[in-house]
A = this chain, B = another copy of it.
Amino acid sequence: MDSLRNHAVLLLSCPDRKGIVASVSQFIYEHNGNIVHADQYTDTEKGQFFMRIEWEMNGFDLERQEIPKAFSPLAQHFQIDWRLHFTDDIPNMAIFVSKAPHCLYEILLRHSAGEFAANIKLIISNHPDLSPVAKTFGIPFYVFPINPQTKMTVEKKELALLKEYNTDLIILARYMQILTPQFISHYPNRIINIHHSFLPAFAGSHPYRQARERGVKIIGATSHYVTDKLDAGPIIEQDVIRVTHRDSVEDLISKGRDIEKIVLSRAIKLHLENRILVYGNKTIIFSS
């Protein structure tokens, strides 16, 4: 898999001006790097430039820890905000679930098929139901029952556990609890949720019931980064499926499962391949 070769991925943004592409690609070339992917976007309204550039570390004459210092003058000159990733730095992922198994299975199966360059370190749930699934795939499973009174205390324990596992990324795979702002603040743009509607339509609870009541002819699913505002974080990916008047709420739930798991999987993959830049409350997706 491409993403498992040793590549560097630089994600950057800065005020738009001439010479950025030339300077950045020159920097890579000078150090003997071979660029394998480059993509850019300019928000002409706001005069902001964004770029993703990926090169082979094989033959590159800087060690990875030397790159920041070497890149620093150029970054200062252009006022560049940047993040550097290496494709053999495999991030640690935690999955939060409640009772529904479809998204969890999908993630575990895609991971088995080599689609996700991540270590799935642990699964956390507020219910014990999916413990056998975790066991099948040999992944530690922790149950934290939760209620409004215990939420703060429980979240602290969860955070401690996540820290213990050096967790880089949290996936809410149909986790039916709202995280507190305090919890979220530890993982800015690193908690990915799947909401079972085509946001911003039908935010909040029971979106399929809402959809049925409104009589829509298409339902959707939305994967987004979690922020303090419920179901209002930066959207990563969405997809839809046709329904008819014949579909009961249960039918919508069943049809919805098929797109929830696919939309969430695509969002995870985009994140793991470092293809997402969050900008304001929106995402820039550098697709392959």
Contacts and interface: CB of A to CB of B under 8 A. Distances in A.
Nearest to A51: B38
Given A18-B29, A25-B21, A113-B257, A218 B245 contact: no
Interface string A11-32: 0000011111111011011101
A217 B237 contact: yes
A214 B22 CA distance: 33
Interface string A213-247: 01111101000000000000011111110001110
A284 B247 CA distance: 11
A178 to B, nearest CB: 20
Contact of A283 (B22, B23, B113, B215): B215
A288 interface: yes
A36 B35 CA distance: 19
B18 A34 contact: yes
A41 to B, nearest CB: 6
A216 B199 contact: yes
Given A25-B22, A29-B22, A238 B217 contact: yes
Q: Which 9 A-B pairs have the closest CB atoms?
A: A215-B282, A22-B29, A201-B201, A22-B25, A21-B25, A217-B238, A22-B26, A19-B29, A245-B284
Interface of A: 16-23, 25-26, 28-30, 32-42, 101-102, 105, 109, 112-113, 115, 136, 198-202, 214-218, 220, 234-240, 244-246, 254, 257-258, 262, 279-285, 287-288
28 contacts: A18-B33, A18-B34, A18-B35, A19-B29, A25-B26, A35-B40, A36-B42, A38-B39, A41-B245, A105-B109, A113-B254, A113-B257, A115-B254, A136-B136, A198-B201, A199-B216, A200-B214, A214-B282, A215-B234, A215-B280, A215-B281, A215-B282, A216-B235, A217-B235, A217-B237, A240-B240, A246-B288, A258-B262
